[in-house]
Amino acid sequence: MVELHSLLRLTPAIPVAQPPERSGGGLPRARPLLRPHVPDGRWEDDRDRAAHRHRVAFRGRKVVYLAPTRALVDQVSQELSERLVPIAESVVRGRFLEDFGEDAAGRVFVQTPEQCLAYLSFDVDARQDVGLVVVDEAHQLSGEPPAPDGGATLPGRRSVDAMWTLLSLLQRSPDADVVLISAMVRNGKAVADWLAAATARPATVLELPWKPTRQVRGVVVYEASDIRGLDGTLATRKRARGTGKPRKAEKAGIGAQPIGLFCHTQVWATNSGFAKFPVLPGSAPLGVSDYWRVTANRNEVGGHLLGAMAQAQMRPIVFSQQIGWTANIADAGAGVLESAGTPEVELTEEEEALFAAAAVELGDARHVEGICGGRIGVHHGLLLWPERAAVEGAFRRSNGLLGLVATPTVAQGINLPAEAVVIAGDDRWTGEMDEGGMQPLAVHELLNAAGRAGRAGHYAHGIVIDLPGKVLTVEERDGSYGVTGLDHIMSLFGLPDQCLDVVDPITQVIDRIQAAGVEADVSEYVVRRAAGIPDDQLVRILGATFGNAAAADREDRAAVQALLLRGLGAALDAEQDDADQLDLDGWRDFAGQVGVSPFVAARMAAVVPPAETIAAWAFDDLLDFAIGEVTRHLFGLVNPISSGLSRIIPRARVRRGATYVFTESVDEWEQRWRAVIPNLVRAWISGEDVARIGQRLHTHRGADGRVNAVCLGRRFALHAATSIAHGASVVVRVVETVRADALSGLLKRQLPLVSGCIREGFDEPDKLLLFWYLRRSGGRYPRVAVHSEFVGIEGALAGWADGTDVDERRNHIRQAWGDA
């Protein structure tokens, strides 16, 4: 590993060349001249910029910080609490503010856009005293770029929610300052002009070409002669085999030495100098397709690169596009280190405690994920909070994990030190409901991942290696390099980090609606979202969108769009059979605020029990009613795609040719889920561990051994439970609206805790309050542990006294815990 190790150590002065004359259309070779490398990397240390951004919090007004992922929400919350000590107790994590009534007396609110929008929907007066709105990874505001053929595309809900959240905040606090932060945006001037028009105040774009870290980027290729030799070997084996696919024995022994092709400039250009040399000391195993062709075997090769980099005392992160592949890559890398005699990493007491807490939540230590072979960490979206915290802590410390394999969630702003990044596959599987296939990564996604290499404050240099999904070859001829797939490589590395033009997702959806009607889920979502907003406010929001704000006739355009959305909302309502039997007008505004159909709200209101029944209700009665109504209106309250239900128990389908065909209707699919939800949610809130939850789902799914039951449980715990809880909060608000006078004083005070109990997994409000208190311990008390801990203090707690509010009860629980 002399070559790879030396490359990184020589990053400040790597071989470059004056661009020579090219011959044969290839890439020019680099002569061994030494010249300082062009500085590159992130423009400032993430922790310093976090503190710098939020000093405004001391001005007395509130701050809303929008981060794209829950993992980044947790990290930013923690860092703000550590750095802004005078207001540390005022930093509120997003999970405390997702649903109706979960008000928190804080000043800095760190949330995902979805969390913030849900909270805004339930409180029309919320966020009217905001002094600063920060949007981290601000490219999350963007819709989809045009299709490769120039055709129109449709954004997902996440970008619509992000943009709608920002616009809603600005409507409620029009004087709030706005900071958008992204290293990926190319049209920053246009974005600044939009903000200036939308806020009627000056807006400035800060674009710094100089960055404090140096980075070199390369791609894995193979010598063309080696691949020709392997093709010949496979052709011989195929002739001997006759017809049929290659068997295991016929795939054996197919390998070649990976070559790194590097450009002397960060932004690749075909007239720049290039250099190539092996990145592994020997051959790496390649794959064989069913059609007898050599394949990239990205995971195995990525694992070997990971092990070699870690062995060379670099700090690598390997990015994989599939959660299921992370452990495979990590195992391969750990195997390389074990073979070299590298000892396992010793965990700290805190890390051991976090993994032990995860074992309690999962039901068994064998279900815990996070470390492979005692040397390499894994990080992905299905890790529980204790697992994620332990892995991040173990990788951050200098004597900790030797490498990390992660999905792109880590690329979304999480500040982990890495000297090198390997992108194991520059494409990903996109499995939509009716079709799927390998699609190239968006350039900004790949470059965002590449930006993890060389982090200011950790390393002054970094190396990025792209491991393509296909085998690419290099061949030296006439003083230059001939490379297959050169157009593909240049489409990735031939652009600067600032490669994404922000486009307006709301305008994209409205344009699609105008052209094709409400034929997509996101289209109906926007129509429903608009339905509950007063006409004048809706026109103001639409007039402030990125697509309208700079237009001279923006008010007219917005009015036309608002009228279109209103008309389509009415048309959707008219399709329902029981329209004449429900009080739709009375629930239309409410339904629009929470993003559901007014029919769902009106139908729930029609079955709320009479006042005398409600007057006798305890918390558990309200909980039962909420679970029952969520079950009855499941897909009306819980989107099966964004909630993850479609990944847990998918709609039945079969493959026919290149596409899938559904074998059951949406109603039949929903009915299958309705049979699961009541007992499943009750098991969840009673403290059943994640593995058993997953086994319940596995049984109902009718899955075979290829489907991991614990993985199903993880998806429910991390994604589905949150969406079901949000649906329950809608039910609770309907009950409160219809029977406010009949509710007992105690139940009124406990109303805000219903959705939290379902989301976090508790059947009593006191358990939820204990969980909120123990959450400050950093993940050592997950849900199952809290159920057990509550038994120890239950006897010391008196009942809820008349007039006791949630904050007072929280203090009682804190005192009982301290005395236990």
Say yes or no: 306 and 449 in one domain.
yes
- Looking at residue 231, what is its pLDDT? 94
| Main-chain dihedrals φ then ψ at residue 42, nearest 5 degrees | -70, 145
Distance CA 715, CA 710 (A): 9
- Looking at residue 102, what is its pLDDT? 44
- Looking at residue 560, what is its pLDDT? 92
Confidence of residue 98 (pLDDT cuts 50, 70, 90): very low
Flag whether 386 is in a domain. no
Triad 442, 446, 450: Cα angle to 5°: 165
Does position 2 have pLDDT exceeding 50, yes or no? no
Flag whether 307 is in a domain. yes
Last residue of a domain, one of 142, 175, 199: 199
Say yes or no: 755 and 771 in one domain.
no
Does position 820 have pLDDT exceeding 60, yes or no? no
Flag the least confident range among 404-413, 605-614, 680-689.
404-413
Distance CA 625, CA 630 (A): 9
Flag whether 570 is in a domain. no
Is residue 549 within 8 Å of 192, Cβ to Cβ? no
- Looking at residue 342, what is its pLDDT? 94
Flag whether 115 is in a domain. yes
Q: Is 295 helix (H, G, I), strand (E, B) or coil?
A: strand
- Looking at residue 288, what is its pLDDT? 94
Q: Which two tokens stand for residue 706?
A: 């290829």
Does position 100 have pLDDT exceeding 90, yes or no? no
Say yes or no: 109 and 231 in one domain.
no
Confidence of residue 284 (pLDDT cuts 50, 70, 90): very high
Last residue of a domain, one of 199, 231, 265: 199
Distance CA 626, CA 633 (A): 11
Q: Which two tokens stand for residue 460?
A: 């002054």
Does position 315 have pLDDT exceeding 90, yes or no? no
- Looking at residue 105, what is its pLDDT? 56
Say yes or no: 78 and 110 in one domain.
yes
Say yes or no: 644 and 700 in one domain.
yes
Q: Which two tokens stand for residue 465?
A: 């290696």
- Looking at residue 16, what is its pLDDT? 31
Say yes or no: 19 and 129 in one domain.
no
Flag whether 590 is in a domain. no
Is residue 106 within 8 Å of 114, Cβ to Cβ? no
Say yes or no: 72 and 138 in one domain.
yes
| Average pLDDT score over residue span 573-599 | 76
Flag the least confident range among 83-92, 545-554, 583-592, 617-626.
83-92
Does position 402 have pLDDT exceeding 90, yes or no? yes
DSSP designation for 282: S
- Looking at residue 590, what is its pLDDT? 83
DSSP designation for 500: B
Q: HEC string of 254-269?
A: CEECCEEEEECCCCCC
Is residue 197 within 8 Å of 552, Cβ to Cβ? no
Nearest to 584 by CA among 512, 530, 532, 640: 532
Flag the least confident range among 145-149, 394-398, 710-714, 727-731.
145-149
Flag whether 569 is in a domain. no
Say yes or no: 709 and 774 in one domain.
no
- Looking at residue 38, what is its pLDDT? 30
**635 exposed, middle or buried (CB, 10 Å; 0-12, 13-18, 19+)?**
middle
- Looking at residue 577, what is its pLDDT? 66
Q: Is 29 helix (H, G, I), strand (E, B) or coil?
A: strand
Confidence of residue 227 (pLDDT cuts 50, 70, 90): very high
Say yes or no: 249 and 173 in one domain.
no
Alpha helices by DSSP H, listed for 432-475, are: 443-450
- Looking at residue 376, what is its pLDDT? 96
- Looking at residue 485, what is its pLDDT? 85
The dihedral built from the CA positions of residue 744, 746, 749 and 753, taken in this order, carries a sign that is negative
Confidence of residue 492 (pLDDT cuts 50, 70, 90): confident
Confidence of residue 746 (pLDDT cuts 50, 70, 90): very high
What would the pLDDT profile of 20-74 be if each residue is shown by its tens digit?
344 344 666 543 322 222 333 333 344 444 444 444 444 568 889 999 887 788 7
Pairing status of strand 15-16 against strand 473-477: unpaired
Does position 142 have pLDDT exceeding 60, yes or no? yes
- Looking at residue 62, what is its pLDDT? 84
What would the pLDDT profile of 326-356 be if each residue is shown by its tens digit?
999 999 999 999 999 999 999 999 999 999 9
Distance CA 9, CA 548 (A): 50
Last residue of a domain, one of 493, 508, 536: 493
The C-alpha R_g of the chain, in whole angstroms, comes to 28
Flag whether 373 is in a domain. no
Q: Report if pTM > 0.95.
A: no
Angle (deg, nearest 10), helices 721-739 and 113-122: 10
Say yes or no: 116 and 229 in one domain.
no
- pLDDT: which is higher, 267 or 437: 267
- Looking at residue 48, what is its pLDDT? 45
Q: 470 is in which domain, residue-wise?
A: 2-37+211-342+402-493
**802 exposed, middle or buried (CB, 10 Å; 0-12, 13-18, 19+)?**
exposed
Does position 146 have pLDDT exceeding 90, yes or no? no
Flag whether 711 is in a domain. yes
DSSP designation for 720: I
What would the pLDDT profile of 157-215 be if each residue is shown by its tens digit?
889 999 999 999 998 888 899 999 887 888 889 999 999 988 889 999 887 765 555 67
- Looking at residue 478, what is its pLDDT? 79
Pairing status of strand 376-379 against strand 403-406: parallel
Q: Is 182 helix (H, G, I), strand (E, B) or coil?
A: coil
Q: Residue 144's domain is classified under what CATH number?
A: 3.40.50.300
Confidence of residue 481 (pLDDT cuts 50, 70, 90): confident
Number of domains in the chain: 4
- Looking at residue 101, what is its pLDDT? 41
Distance CA 717, CA 694 (A): 9
Say yes or no: 622 and 693 in one domain.
yes
Say yes or no: 141 and 240 in one domain.
no
